[in-house]
Structure 1
Amino acid sequence: MDIHKIDWSRIPWTPVRPGVERKAFSGSAATVALHRLMPGHEPRPHSHPHEQIAYIVSGTLRFFIGGEEHLVGPGGLVLIPSNVEHWGEVVGDEPVLNLDVFTPRRPEYA
């Protein structure tokens, strides 16, 4: 059995684009990514073949998923199906921390 223990504080934040940073960890079949979204960041509609589960750690995010709008705050979860266009916008002045889980793994993340 190959077990890895990771300390999030030792993983550096990686700039994704202005207003968006990420730190990520991958196993052989899944990726966990912590995103920090700043108020006023530029949302970018996109889709990918990976199913995604997003958990909001802090702040509030307005998700647009497949033509539907969902307001999600701390403790909230959303499931984003594979190949469905989606994006998020920060609501208010507080940065959003959201934890994303992808399967299969996202090798371009970590």
Structure 2
Amino acid sequence: MSIHATADEVREELADMGNTAFSTKAVYGNASSLLIATRPAGYHSRPHRHDCEQLNWLQSGALWVMIEDRAVLMQAGDFLRVPANARHWSWNKFDAPAVLVEVHTPGLQDDPLVKAFAVGLFDDDETPAYLGAPVNEFLPEDTDFDPSIAEGWVR
């Protein structure tokens, strides 16, 4: 590959989170990874954490994001930061898909959810020197949020 990839060279794949899945395109460099993640209506991820900071920008739709004990409603154009190692999950309680742009630092290039299809943006003569290699850690059920607390949430 090179430091540039066309849209066709970065294929869209399904990232399986165990209880649900979302479609995504993913690229990475030495310090960060970038995911364009489309979460379908009804999407509900499992609580998880990773040893990297996550910056989000919601391109379209609406999405609830829970970070520790805080619920944030993201709407198109909103930004959100998930601190490293913070327990978090998301829920698309709406009728339309939500397209979320995620940047992880250090990058998630070695995470099983994206490793098989993420595209490294490196020149042929470049040796990658990753800042780190965090992975998603799905949390045991006893640390799960109770989805019923969100039943009354509205836009």
Same fold by TM (over 0.5)?
Answer: yes
Matched, 1:11 2:5: no
Give 1:19 shift.
4.0
Q: 1:80 maps to what in 2?
A: 82
Question: Among the aligned pairs, what percent are the same residue?
Answer: 25
Which stretches of structure 1, 4 residues or more, deviate above 4 A after TM superposition? none
Q: 1:61 maps to what in 2?
A: 63
- Cα distance in structure 2, aligned partners of 1:84 and 1:107: 19
- Cα distance in structure 2, aligned partners of 1:45 and 1:56: 19
Is contact 1:19–1:39 with CA below 8 Å preserved after alignment? Answer: no
- Cα distance in structure 1, aligned partners of 2:22 and 2:109: 19
Q: Greater strand percent: which structure?
A: 1
- Cα distance in structure 2, aligned partners of 1:26 and 1:9: 16
Is contact 1:19–1:40 with CA below 8 Å preserved after alignment? Answer: no
Give 1:51 shift.
0.4
Over the aligned positions, Cα root-mean-square deviation in angstroms equals 1.5
Give 1:37 shift.
0.4
- Cα distance in structure 1, aligned partners of 2:54 and 2:109: 14
TM-score normalised per structure 2:
0.65
Counterpart amino acid of residue 16 in structure 1: A
Q: Which range is displaced more, 49-58 or 12-21?
A: 12-21
Counterpart amino acid of residue 98 in structure 2: V
Is contact 1:56–1:73 with CA below 8 Å preserved after alignment? Answer: yes
Is contact 2:44–2:89 with CA below 8 Å preserved after alignment? Answer: no
Q: Which has the larger radius of gyration?
A: 2
Which structure 1 residue ranges, 5 or more long, are not aligned? none
Q: Which range is displaced more, 50-59 or 16-25?
A: 16-25
Give 1:34 shift.
0.7
Q: Alignment partner for residue 51 of structure 1, among 45, 48, 53?
A: 53
Q: 2:142 maps to what in 1?
A: none
Which structure 2 residue ranges, 5 or more long, are not aligned? 119-155
